[in-house]
Amino acid sequence: MAAELHVALVAADREVWSGQATLVVARTTSGDIGVMPGHQPLLGVLESGPVTIRTSEGGTVIAAVHGGFISFADNKLSLLAEIAELSDEIDVQRAERALERAKSDDDASAGRRAEVRLQAATAR
């Protein structure tokens, strides 16, 4: 049996990505976690960070996720996030500008968001 799991990456206002995958790596509050097909049912809190999805076609999807949850059961994985962006949707220049602005405004959470965006964008 081909080991696959169904992934749905869902933001509060839209479904960002969904499809079949072989491995999903996400960052929870207690560290990075990798989920492969057949993993034990899991429910975790996500940190802001990049999520890497290895699709069954062999491609890689990277998304920036800000706050949210990972839940896995019955070979179905859902990534819930308030804000989620695929790496190719991210405008690097805008994110850099946002990072600088956040630095000058001393806004830690906005800075973190911009950093995660950049990380995800450069990882593609």
Give the interface with another protein as residue ranges (CB under 8 A): 8, 10-15, 28-30, 33, 40-45, 68-71, 73-74, 78, 80, 82-83
Contacts of 46 (CB under 8 A, 6+ apart): 26, 27, 28, 29, 65, 67, 68, 69, 70, 79, 81
**31 vs 58 by CB, closer to another protein:** 31
- Using alpha carbons, select from 123, 8, 1, 105 the residue that is nearest to residue 62: 123
Residue 48 Cβ, how far from another protein at the closest point, in Å? 13
Q: What are phi and psi of 18, to 5 degrees?
A: -150, 145
Q: Which is nearer to another protein, 10 or 25 (CB)?
A: 10
CB of 100 to another protein, least distance (A): 22
Eight-state DSSP code of residue 48 = S
When the beta carbons of 60 and 71 are compared against another protein, the nearer one is 71
Instruction: Quote the least distance from Cβ 81 to another protein, whole Å.
Output: 9
**Structure-block tokens of residue 21:** 């995958």
